Amino acid sequence: MDDLRQLVQQLAEARCQYEQDREVIDKLEADFKLDHEDLLQAMAQTKTIRDDIEGEIRARQYSGADKAPAPGLTVRMISTVSYTPSTALGWAVENQHHNLLTLNAKAFEQVAKGLRLDFVIIGAVPQVTIARDLAPAAAQISTEMAAQRTVDAQSEVLRVAGYGPCTEGLVGIQDVMGFFEAAGREPEKS
């Protein structure tokens, strides 16, 4: 779990850095737009004209006989299929072409949940939701990690002093308190 906590902290830092970078870019873009407003307006007008002309060219009727009706234009024939979906569905069912039928999975799952069909397994899977603002989580993790480092350091001191899981018998609370009194400090409360 420590690696997960470290990942959350790293994500918080990365998000923070990204937001700082994004703010700089947004400011630069805003400044650019102000400095080049005339150019941007001219470009928008040119784009509108370009799109209109392209639309006009594409809207014309081409027979396909002339593969190059003008320099820079080529005409190719592409196949198209037109049908009424309900007729096609009926034909696929009638002719047992079940592989041509598609299932609206979202709608089916809603219905299946209510019907409790034998062939449907309804379960639950975990889905992680990451908080949008990870600053409080990162602060909490830093505090917890610092506290754990303190506990680890205290455990190491006790181990070096001969107290720990490898010693014979249990360490009494008086022994631990005596250790802290000898060190001239109070044990930290968790």
Same domain, 111 and 151: no
25 domain-assigned: no
The pLDDT tens digits of the residues spanning 28-86 come to: 999 999 999 999 999 999 999 999 999 888 888 777 788 888 888 888 888 787 778 88
The answer, yes or no, to whether residue 26 has pLDDT greater than 60, is: yes
Residue 115: inside a domain: yes
Q: Is residue 58 part of a domain?
A: no
Range of weakest confidence among 8-22, 48-62, 119-133 = 119-133
Contact, 179 vs 163, CB < 8 A? yes
| Amino acid, res. 143 | T
Residue 161: inside a domain, yes or no? yes
User: What range does the domain containing 162 cover?
Assistant: 135-183
As for how many domains the chain has, the answer is 2
What pLDDT sits at residue 169?
Answer: 46
Q: Are 5 and 144 in contact (CB under 8 A)?
A: yes
Q: Burial-class residue 17 by CB neighbours within 10 Å (0-12, 13-18, 19+).
A: exposed
Same domain, 141 and 179: yes
Gap between the Cα atoms of 179 and 134, Å rounded: 39
Task: Judge if 178 and 152 occupy the same domain.
Answer: yes
100 within a domain of the structure (yes/no): yes
Model pTM greater than 0.85? no
Whole-number Å distance between alpha carbons of 39 and 97:
58
